[in-house]
Structure 1
Amino acid sequence: MRSALCLGETMAVLSPDPPVGLAAADRFSCGIGGAESNVAMGLAAFGVPVSWISRLGEDGFGRKILAALAQHGVDVAQVQIDRERPTGLYFKDPAAEPEHSVRYYRQGSAAAAMAPDLLADPAVAALLAGAGLVHLSGITPALSPSCRALCEQLLRLPRDGRVFSFDLNWRPGLWHGQDASLLRGLADSADVLLLGADEAEQAFGTGSEAELRTLLPGPETLVLKKAADSAVSLHRDPATGRESRTEVPALSVALLEPVGAGDSFAAGYLSGLLAGLDETSRLRRGHLAAACTLTVAGDRGALPEEAVIEALLGSSEAQWRATSVAPGRIESPALPAPAVLPGRPIPAGSSVLR
């Protein structure tokens, strides 16, 4: 399997422990958070050789991030260390309204100083030349003008057998005061575009398949996620120009926490792409990875054993629709017995809706 390269910012995440409002918090636990590094760790979990490129401050948070990604099997050898700018961080505020539950402190971060000259680094250039997949998101171009220029230059590179994927990851707070219309051009320059119908509505004014395809004709494949209902792939055959539509329903999930599910979906789908799977199998891998993340507290859920994944990918439509995922287990008519997953069970009576 060819390797992947993910580029973007990862920050330290400080969460009140116990989970109280920031004003009442005396103690914090420290984790890491970043869309592109989440995808990198997800790809590694699927067995894809993957590197993550970014900039970090020469500080304890930066060292923590490097150690965590390396522990998950991600190559971080070419991450640049900035001796002047800090690693970005954000705080979770459990007491705040959902739209204000995260407080970012990333302005002037080391990652915000990424620029096109990053691509001139011989080691980075070698990674790019050997990658089968290069993954970006809409977060990076919002960080700074130099980050936007970096993304634009990356997406203009000759493909040479590579696939460039772009996850919209719409963050209105990051684009406040900036020209968000630039995001459309970047998204349309990718080969594979992943986006949710809800975020597309906010970013582009529509969540409609047909309208989005008209608005974004560039990508060979547009993957539209419809929340807890389904995911749709609109794939254009490069040889004939003919477009096909594939829709796969989401799995039934006992939701614990939604954070990171979109990144896990991207990792599942893109790993299927690198493995040469058809669109149905790619979407199923995406749904399965997302479901495993939705049932744990944190950004990433552990995947089931490979035999379980293969059985679910090969299941009938009826078997797939009857499959359910809860913390610690997967039940499906396609499996001889429930599959055990690492995770913490949710309390009885919790919502089973995603």
Structure 2
Amino acid sequence: MTPWRPEAGPVACVGETMAAFAPGRPVPLESATSLQVGVAGAESNVARYLADHGVPARWVSAVGDDPLGRLVRNRIAASGVDTSAVRTDPERPTGVMFKDPGADGTRVRYYRTGSAASALAPELLADAAVTSASLVHLTGVTAALSPSCLALVRAALNPRGPARPYAVSFDVNHRPALWSDGSASTVLAELAGLADIVFVGLDEAQALWGNGLPDAAAVRRLLPGPRVLVVKDGGRDATAFTDTGQHTVTAPHVDVVEPVGAGDAFAAGFLAALLRGDDPVASLRLGHLTAASALRVTDDHGPLPPAPQLTAAVAASDDQWARHTT
């Protein structure tokens, strides 16, 4: 049985990207003597890794008419992503975030209230960059930014409106700091239930919907609607539920520098493989390999291994995969 997959074609990734500042070495922000500037956004991270894998990718969003907005647009375009549908807002600024490394992990501090991207709204879906895409990628981050952004995500997923011309992938991507009204559990379950492809972490699902979700199969029972559901269990494994059944692939060993951005990289690798017709196991393997590229760097976007190396790892026997390290 051939698993379902979206039609091959451009992927539109819709959501905010911010200018990101991080210490030049992994020390707490207050101890830093210098900061590096980069870009950070869940959806544009996916777009950049998709482009790395040779998938035509578009980032659709808005930035301020300011130097940081131009930096963000230029950095993402330099990764081979189509940014022609990014709007410049003359009245609202580009969002900013700071990474704050610590002994218990990296904390992220946002300065994005009233940003240009927070004003995104459902009319964005009429843009040709979206309507001509084969797949639209969204995350729970966008849904949390503002009422108009939530309306945008709901409109993209609306099964009762006009038939959407694209498939939709949705990464739950729960950011507690963005959900001050306590609605995250209900809203993110609603949105995930409407998507064609869903990504969620097991720990994330437990935090949102209760510790009565001991494993990936329990998450699938909670979210039966998506054609494809991927449940990631940290650095241990990832499980995909498709119309061909349940498939689990152990994650390879990685010497982690910083985990931020790895989930987006995993989603991009999985989607790239799915779009080219790979089976669920190969798609999970490419997801893990792409995530490793993010785990090895302090930036959200790291370089992929050479294509022949990726191809060999994806095609490896189960025994070879079990011994694989990155």
> What is the TM-score of this pair, normalised by structure 1?
0.84
From 145, 168, 177, the counterpart of 2:147? 145
In structure 1, the partner of 2:110 is 104
C-alpha distance in 2 between matches for 1:97 and 1:244: 37
TM-aligned CA distance change 1:292 to 1:25, over 3 Å: closer
In the TM superposition, residue 85 of structure 1 has moved relative to its aligned partner by 0.7
From 190, 195, 199, the counterpart of 1:194? 199
Task: Detail structure 1 runs of 4+ shifted over 6 Å in the superposition.
Answer: none
C-alpha distance in 1 between matches for 2:260 and 2:325: 19
Answer yes or no: is the 8 Å Cα contact 1:13–1:91 preserved in 2: yes
In the TM superposition, residue 210 of structure 1 has moved relative to its aligned partner by 2.9
In structure 1, the partner of 2:308 is 307
Q: What SS does structure 2 have at the residue aligned with 1:273?
A: helix
In the alignment, structure 1 segments of 5+ residues that lack a partner are 237-242, 326-354
C-alpha distance in 2 between matches for 1:17 and 1:303: 22
Q: Is the aligned partner of 1:169 residue 2:173?
A: yes
Answer yes or no: is the 8 Å Cα contact 1:225–1:232 preserved in 2: yes
Structure showing greater radius of gyration is 1
From 88, 112, 129, the counterpart of 1:127? 129
1:170-185 equivalence runs, <5 A: 170-180=174-184, 181-185=186-190
C-alpha distance in 2 between matches for 1:24 and 1:323: 37
C-alpha distance in 2 between matches for 1:207 and 1:200: 10
C-alpha distance in 2 between matches for 1:2 and 1:248: 26
From 56, 63, 66, the counterpart of 2:73? 66
Q: Is the aligned partner of 1:7 residue 2:14?
A: yes
Q: Which amino acid aligns with 2:312?
A: A
From 148, 154, 157, the counterpart of 2:156? 154
In structure 2, the partner of 1:50 is 57
C-alpha distance in 1 between matches for 2:95 and 2:312: 41
In the TM superposition, residue 5 of structure 1 has moved relative to its aligned partner by 0.5
TM-aligned CA distance change 1:17 to 1:251, over 3 Å: closer
Q: What SS does structure 2 have at the residue aligned with 1:93?
A: strand
Q: Which amino acid aligns with 1:235?
A: T
Deviates more, 1:300-309 or 1:272-281: 300-309
C-alpha distance in 2 between matches for 1:155 and 1:274: 20
* Number of equivalences: 313
TM-aligned CA distance change 1:102 to 1:308, over 3 Å: same
State the identity %: 46
C-alpha distance in 2 between matches for 1:15 and 1:316: 39
Q: What SS does structure 1 have at the residue aligned with 2:109?
A: strand
Answer yes or no: is the 8 Å Cα contact 1:132–1:274 preserved in 2: no
Deviates more, 1:316-325 or 1:170-179: 170-179
Q: What SS does structure 2 have at the residue aligned with 1:131?
A: coil
Q: What SS does structure 2 have at the residue aligned with 1:324?
A: coil
Deviates more, 1:44-53 or 1:201-210: 201-210
In the alignment, structure 2 segments of 5+ residues that lack a partner are 1-7
Deviates more, 1:85-94 or 1:184-193: 85-94
Q: Which amino acid aligns with 2:122?
A: P
TM-aligned CA distance change 1:95 to 1:197, over 3 Å: closer
C-alpha distance in 2 between matches for 1:249 and 1:65: 34
User: For each residue in 1:94-122, what CA deviation from the matched residue of structure 2 results, as whole angstroms up to 9, or x when unmatched?
Assistant: 358547x22111111111111112223xx
In structure 2, the partner of 1:349 is none
In structure 2, the partner of 1:333 is none
User: For each residue in 1:241-281, what CA deviation from the matched residue of structure 2 results, as whole angstroms up to 9, or x when unmatched?
Assistant: xx501111111112222121111100000001110111011
TM-aligned CA distance change 1:278 to 1:13, over 3 Å: same
In the TM superposition, residue 133 of structure 1 has moved relative to its aligned partner by 1.2
Q: What SS does structure 2 have at the residue aligned with 1:6?
A: strand
TM-aligned CA distance change 1:21 to 1:323, over 3 Å: closer
Answer yes or no: is the 8 Å Cα contact 1:7–1:136 preserved in 2: yes
Answer yes or no: is the 8 Å Cα contact 1:198–1:207 preserved in 2: no
Structure number with greater CO (CA < 8 Å, separation at least 6) is: 2
TM-aligned CA distance change 1:176 to 1:207, over 3 Å: farther
In the TM superposition, residue 17 of structure 1 has moved relative to its aligned partner by 3.9
Answer yes or no: is the 8 Å Cα contact 1:230–1:247 preserved in 2: yes
Answer yes or no: is the 8 Å Cα contact 1:88–1:110 preserved in 2: yes
> What is the TM-score of this pair, normalised by structure 2?
0.91
In the TM superposition, residue 158 of structure 1 has moved relative to its aligned partner by 2.1
C-alpha distance in 2 between matches for 1:264 and 1:115: 26
In the TM superposition, residue 51 of structure 1 has moved relative to its aligned partner by 0.5
Answer yes or no: is the 8 Å Cα contact 2:125–2:131 preserved in 1: no
Answer yes or no: is the 8 Å Cα contact 1:87–1:111 preserved in 2: yes
